[in-house]
Each structure stands twice: as structure tokens, then as C-alpha cells.
Amino acid sequence: MKRILITGAAGFLGSHLCDRFIAEGYSVIGMDNLITGDLKNIEHLFKLQNFEFYHHDVTKFVHLPGHLDYILHFASPASPIDYLKIPIQTLKVGSLGTHNLLGLARVKKARILIASTSEIYGDPLVHPQTEDYYGNVNTIGPRGVYDEAKRFQESITMAYHTFHGVETRIVRIFNTYGPRMRLNDGRVIPAFIGQALRGEDLTIFGDGSQTRSFCYVTDQVEGIYRLLHSDYSQPVNVGNPNEITIKDFADEIIKLTGTTQKVVYYPLPINDPMQRQPDTTRAKEILGWEAKVSREEGMKLTYEYFKSLSSEELLKEDHKNFKSYIH
Ligand code: NAD
Ligand code: UDP
């Protein structure tokens, strides 16, 4: 049985990856320090024989007995609110954490895939973003802690590939959404849906003309699965190219949820990228992959998930914390 370590297993993407690899018959080891994740995302896996969980901070030495075939390094705060609250941990997990996992991959002779991000392109001057674009990042801006950690992560990963011959894969993930996102993580989809469910106004940052391209989680997981099993070590964008302005997206949420609330405008956060759309030519050519789930379909499933949360859960969340983000 193939054995895979998934870091960030209790988080949004990590938990879906655990499900996928369990379904494919792998023995899965989840690792997480629960700083932004939640065990409820993987509690259904604890009864399974081919699932183990280690509560561990990957910025500390990672020891794992037994053989290992693959590592997926997904541990990292991922939303702007999270990495503004915990900037040092964000830098450490992208740098020290990645170093530890590359070291583990090297001794175990395991293939490692690291979760990079469209944020390495910063506020992009090339549109749509191709993998050979170097990016436009403010190193010392509020998002720099995340963006630069991820850029370093890519560099050290390529260095381990080149100098130590470690089999490495780099996925550049564009905004991905779906069930198990945290209601209060501040990302636009849980923010808008949470606001609609609580009967609050929808908070648009800036004038809403900035764009994003949203990928449903099952599409993202499929892209990652294919990349891991490919023989390609250069970075690959995985995302849905269907681009929309945040203002139009707010209108879609109003229609989907039937909320009678209005939209309200707040200042645009510093260095918030004005446009983002993946060029997925490489993913198509190398992996035979493209996004299949439309935004309409994916948002329906996501809304169902958030609606299924108890009202206690919905209200206990610190949903006002976006204000600390826009100062
Ligand atoms: P998430 O916050 O839901 O999951 C991250 C998980 O990592 C959490 O469970 C957290 O507790 C864990 N973690 C953080 N630091 C850790 C540490 N030092 N040791 C062990 N565990 C630690 O976020 P997500 O959206 O699932 O993102 C997962 C990965 O995908 C991240 O690396 C993120 O940068 C990347 N990514 C996600 C998106 C997206 O749209 N969701 C976009 C680009 C990149
Ligand atoms: N955004 C918004 N209102 C919110 C939360 C986010 O208008 O309540 C905007 C945010 O400024 C950004 C876009 O939505 O332009 C996507 O934000 P998110 O945090 O989801 O992802 P990222 O900026 O990392 O792509």
C-alpha cells in the first residue's frame, strides 16, 4: 500500500486531499498543528485503519517512522486575515517547514508536492498569469509574509530537486473554494455567504472592480492528484480561468442566497491584487486537466454546506474581524 504524508490535513484543502487519497486506496498520514485547521474536517477518517494523525508543528523537526512514498505539503495559513494575524508562523511554515519536509522527502526517497499559490505573482502586471511570469510582489507589504514565504518555498524546492535529486512537484493554486472553508477566515466566499446567512450587508473592499477566478475544490484536488503522478517538476497553475469582478460576484451571492441586504464598501486592503486569472495551458498540455465545475454548480454546493452549519456555529464565529484586515 502506498503511504502518503499530508501536512495541513485538518485544513480546507488538506482534508479534501486526505479524502481523495483514502478513496484511492492509499495509507494516509495527516499532520497538522491546528493553528487555522479544525479536527472536525477529518474526524470521519479517524475510525479508518489506513488513516493516522499527528498533531505536530512542521516548523519543528519532523520524525516519521516507516517508509513513505509521497508528501503533500499543504500546511500554511492561507487567508489574508490569517496571515496578518500570524505573520511569523506564516513565514516559518513556508520556509523552515518546507525545509523540514524536503529533508524528510530526501531521507525517505519520497516524492514531494508543495502547495504554492497565485500570490507569488503578487499584483500581476501580466494577465492572465502564465507560469513564466516572475510576479510583482511588495516584499515588505502586509501580504509579503505569505507571498515571500511561498516564493522561498518554490526556490528551496527547486534547489532540493537540482542538488539532491529529490522528486519535487510545485502546484500554483488559484483561489479555490468549497465545503469546509472556515466561516470566519475572511476569504471572500465564506465572508459573503456568512453575511447573507446572518442577515448582514455584504462587505466589498475597494470599488469591487478587482477580479478573481474561483476554482471548485474537486477540480483543484484532481489537478493536484494528476500533477503528483506526473513526471513534471516545473510549476503548474491549477485554477478555473472563469474570471469575475468582486462586485458582480456579490450580485451572484445575493441571487443565490436571496438575501435582502445591500452591499457596503470598505477601503481596498494594501496590495490587494487588482486582477487574477490563471493561464492553464500548461495544466491542459502536461496533465490533460481543466476545471469542470461551473461557478454556479460549485457555489450551490458550497452554500448548502454553510447552510447546514448550526446557527450557534454561524453566530459564534468572529465574523467582524475583517475590520482589522482593512486598516
Ligand atoms: P487552511 O488554513 O484551511 O489549511 C491550512 C492548514 O495548515 C490548517 O489546518 C493549519 O492548522 C495547518 N498549519 C498551518 N501551519 C502549520 C504548521 N506550522 N504545522 C502544521 N500544520 C500547520 O488553508 P487552505 O485553504 O486549505 O490552504 C492549504 C494550502 O494551500 C496552503 O499552503 C495554502 O497556501 C495553499 N493555497 C490555498 C489556496 C486556496 O484558495 N484555498 C490558494 C492558494 C494556495
Ligand atoms: N473581499 C471583499 N470583501 C470581503 C472579503 C474579501 O471584497 O469581505 C475581496 C478582497 O479584497 C479581494 C477578493 O475579495 O479583492 C478576494 O479576497 P480573498 O481574501 O478571498 O482572496 P485573495 O485576495 O487572497 O485572492
Tens digit of each residue's pLDDT (9 = 90 or more) over 249-261: 999 999 999 999 9
Closest ligand to C-alpha of residue 204 is: 2
What is the whole-number distance in angstroms between the Cα of residue 81 and the centre of ligand 2?
10
- Cα angle value 273/276/281 (rounded, 5°): 150
pLDDT bin (cut points 50, 70, 90) of residue 327 is very low
What is the whole-number distance in angstroms between the Cα of residue 156 and the centre of ligand 1?
19
Q: In this structure, how many other beta carbons lie within 10 angstroms of the beta carbon of residue 237?
A: 24
| Domain spans of the chain, in order of start | 3-176+214-238, 183-213+242-274+294-326
- Cα angle value 162/164/170 (rounded, 5°): 55
For 3-176+214-238, CATH gives 3.40.50.720
C-alpha–C-alpha distance, residues 30 and 106, integer Å: 19
Closest ligand to C-alpha of residue 321 is: 2
Q: Find out if CATH 3.20.20.100 is the number for domain 183-213+242-274+294-326.
A: no
Residue 160 Cβ < 6 Å to ligand 1: no
Instruction: Please report the DSSP string for 290-305 in residue order.
Output: ---S-HHHHHHHHHHH
Our mutation pick for probing the ligand 2 site, out of 246, 247, 249, counting the most ligand atoms within 8 A of Cβ, is 246
Beta-carbon contacts of residue 163 (< 8 Å; ≥ 6 apart)? none
Told to judge if 146 belongs to the known catalytic residues of this protein, a careful annotator would answer: yes
What is the whole-number distance in angstroms between the Cα of residue 259 and the centre of ligand 1?
30
Tens digit of each residue's pLDDT (9 = 90 or more) over 20-71: 999 999 999 999 999 999 999 999 999 999 999 999 999 999 999 999 999 9
Which residues' Cβ are closer than 6 Å to ligand 2?
A: 79-80, 175, 186-188, 191, 203-205, 210, 212, 246, 269, 272, 322
pTM: 0.97
C-alpha–C-alpha distance, residues 241 and 237, integer Å: 10
Residue 93 Cβ < 6 Å to ligand 1: yes
Pick the catalytic residue from 70, 83, 121, 146: 146
Tens digit of each residue's pLDDT (9 = 90 or more) over 124-162: 999 999 999 999 999 999 999 999 999 999 999 999 999
Alpha-carbon separation of residue 165 from 68, 157, 264 (angstroms)? 17, 11, 52
Our mutation pick for probing the ligand 2 site, out of 212, 213, 320, counting the most ligand atoms within 8 A of Cβ, is 212
Residue 74 Cβ < 6 Å to ligand 1: yes
Residue 318 has pLDDT above 80, yes or no: no
